[in-house]
Every structure is written in C-alpha cells, then in structure tokens.
Structure 1
Amino acid sequence: MTTGRSRQAPLRHLNRDLIVDQALALARVGGVAGVSMRKVANALGVEVMSLYHWVPSRDALLVLMADRSVALIPAPDPALPWPDRLRTVLLDLYQAGLDNPVLFEVLAAEQLRPRTLISAPDAGGAVMRLLESILRMLAEAGLSGPQMVHAFRGLLGIIVGFLVAQVDGLPTARAQTTASGRLGPLGLFDAIDPAEGVSYAVDLFLAGLRHSDGQSPPAPGPEHDQSGADVPP
C-alpha cells in the first residue's frame, strides 16, 4: 500500500513539463481517451489535486500536449505570398498531427471556438500563436471578420478530417469487392496517398480564396430562384 508520505515525496520535483511528459506517454499507449488527470497523477505517484497547481484542467492538459508538436513547426518565409505561407503552415500542421494524435482533438475543439486558449492562454502558447498566424494570413487575403472565421474553420476542418481518417482509419476498400470481383469506387482509396489528398484539398480551398479576393458569394438576382436555378424569361 502506498503511504501518504511516499505519494507526497515526488511533489518537490513535480512541474508542468513532467505532467505533460507523462500525459504524452499515456496517450502513446491508450490514445487520447487514455489521458485523464487521475491517470496522470497515479502514474506520477501523486495526489490528483496536486496536478491542478500546474494544469487547470484536462482540456488545458491536452492543449499543452498539442503545444509540444506545434512548437516544432517552423515559421514560413515572410517573403512568400500569403497563400504560399498559409499552405506551408497547414501542411506542417497536418504532419505534426500525424506525429502527435492528440493534436487533432485539440484542433477539432479549437476550430469552432478557441475557448480553452482564450480562458487560459498560457496553457497553449504555441497553439495560440499558430492559430493567430493563420488568421493574420486570412486577413491579408482581404477577408472580412466573418469571412475569416468561416475560412479558418474550413481550413482547419480539412486538416482535422484528414487526420481523423489517418489516425482512426478509413473503411477498407477491399471489403467493397463487387460480385464480379471488381472493386467499387472505394478501390481508389488503396491507390492514393492521403498526404496527396490533403495537399489537393488545401490547394482547392486556397484557390477559391484567391479567386474570391475577399468578395462574398453573389446574392440571387431576379433571374435566379432561391435554388440558384435559371428562371425562364
């Protein structure tokens, strides 16, 4: 049985980096679902309440874990045009998410509303700086505030979607063999590298932003009905 004294001894050495290290070790074994404040405390041999002096919540812990990967992403060349800089950052973010699966869970939450980062900005400095840099590049595209939010969510949605497909796996195409022995359309998934897909999707999105030049989609005119179909004269 562990005594109170033996459980309290490591407190002298407890710090935020040690907590994050242990959380990452748990995630490598049991995935993000295997990370909890109690499990981290048990692994470190301390009381769970002692962790909250360093990390305010599990959400903040996940952001700190993601920070480890995001901090390694280099800043793009400032001399490049904004689409090239944004493309570089997004593809680097995708690769970082492959290396650290906890990153896509953080991105999935923060793409809708960066509530954890706003409430505890010191818990995710690298993630906050990265997301702010994406917004600045979207501002360079001439987008309005609401358009920036829509584009921000759309771009992170691409990254998160491809990360989920890579980490959780796609349905196997070989299970879709038809009666004739031929693969259905899902057979294409076996032949195409997902990394090519994320590049293609990002390029399509950025091409749309360049083409729009910050303009909103045109409203239906008198020659169109609400569905966008042509109305006969």
Structure 2
Amino acid sequence: MMFPIINIGPLAIQSSGFIIILGIWFGISSIEKNYHKFILSQKNFMTDIYWALFSIPIFSRISYIIQYLNDFLDHPKSIFSPNLSLFDPLSGVILSAILLLILLKKDKISIESSINAMTSGISLFLIFYFISLLANGEYYGISTTVPWGIVLWGVPRHPLQIYYAIAFMGIYFWIRNSLRTNLINDLFTKFIVAISIMFIFLDFFRGDNQNIVGGIHIIQVLGLIALIISLLKLNLKQKTNSTDYAE
C-alpha cells in the first residue's frame, strides 16, 4: 500500500513531499496559535522559527554535497536539482535546530519556554510525517496475519506507519487539551515521556531491519533512555517545587 505520486489533473506531485509541506503548515499554524501562552516577550520568536525552517533544505543540500563532493564537482548543476534524494534531511534538521538555538539566545528568548511552545506543532507535524512514510512504503511493519494488515513489498504487514500516526493523533489531542486547560508546565518533557513509551512498544513491530544491532532495536533503547531522563527531570522539578512551596 503505497501512493508515491498524487495526480491532480495534468500534475504529478510527489506525495511524501506534499504531505510533509502540509504537516509543516499545520504545525506552524498550531505554534502561532498557542505560543503566547509560553513566550511573554513575543518579539522575533516566530521569525526565528521561520529562519530555522527555511534553513532546513539549505543545510540538507549542503550536507549531502559535502558527503558526495566529487559527484557534485563532476555535475555542478546537480547542486540546484529539486531531486529530493539529493538531500540529507537528518543533518538539515539538526543544523537548523542549532541555528534556532543561536537565534533564540541572541534574542534573549527562553529556550525551555520556546521548546514548550513548539510542542503542539511538533506533535501535529509528526502525524503527517508518518503518513508520508506510508506513502513511500518506508518504516513498514513486520509480516502479520491480522485482518488489518496491509500488503507491502508483496507481504501482508503491520501498518506501523498508521499505528504511529494514530498514536501521535492521541498525543496531539492530549496536548490541545493541556493547552486549553492551561496545564502546560513541562509540556515538552511530558511529550517526550509519551513518545518514548510509544516508540518502546510500537517499534517492536518494525520490519525494515534498520536501526537494529545484534537483534536490539536502537530506537527502543533510545526511547528507554529518553523516558528515564524525562521522568527524572519531572521528578526533580516536582521535588524542587515542593521545597519552594514548603519554604
């Protein structure tokens, strides 16, 4: 079950890229709607986010060029190619996140408040991200006989991308409820707790054999580490608040 191309009249649009763009748009809209709950001095916050977003494709292409420099020296026109396979998205996201931290620091905006403010947008974007993986047939599940399995690469499989998309929908609605009721303290840390538990359980069904070393799912290990650190942080924060209240 893949839909790599969306045909709109005479246009053939790459579905994964289109879905990602939709996810970014909805995610940004969610951040714009809610960030005032976290950022009191609102100047430049959204501007910094837009700069970071615009830098992702630039950093992604530069990172890819560095990795395959000789190929680009032989074909310099490829530097400006719209081919999505000539990007390194992970490096692009990491470098843009570093840029965002630098910009926030320069504008004297709290990093913790900023991360909390972006939580709703991140959770909403990740719904679209896993749908885009489904469109490309990536991050698929192990073979199964369950009636809701989907045929991918000739084998009925767990629709792992759909599991993740549904899980992130639940997390997003929880975040929306938290924003509506103003239960927003440590929102991002609680978000990390939720997605860590999700990855620990759901990645068991992953079937593409990526990120597996010695039979161990690296994503599950990282999820467990993130869960422990996040719970320790929440516990420490609670103890600190209790001490301050007692005094």
- Of structures 1 and 2, the one scoring higher in RCO (CA 8 A, sep 6+) is 2
User: TM-score, length-normalised on structure 2?
Assistant: 0.29
User: TM-score, length-normalised on structure 1?
Assistant: 0.30
Considering only CA atoms, is the larger Rg found in Structure 1 or Structure 2? 1
Judging by fraction of residues, say which structure has more strand: 2
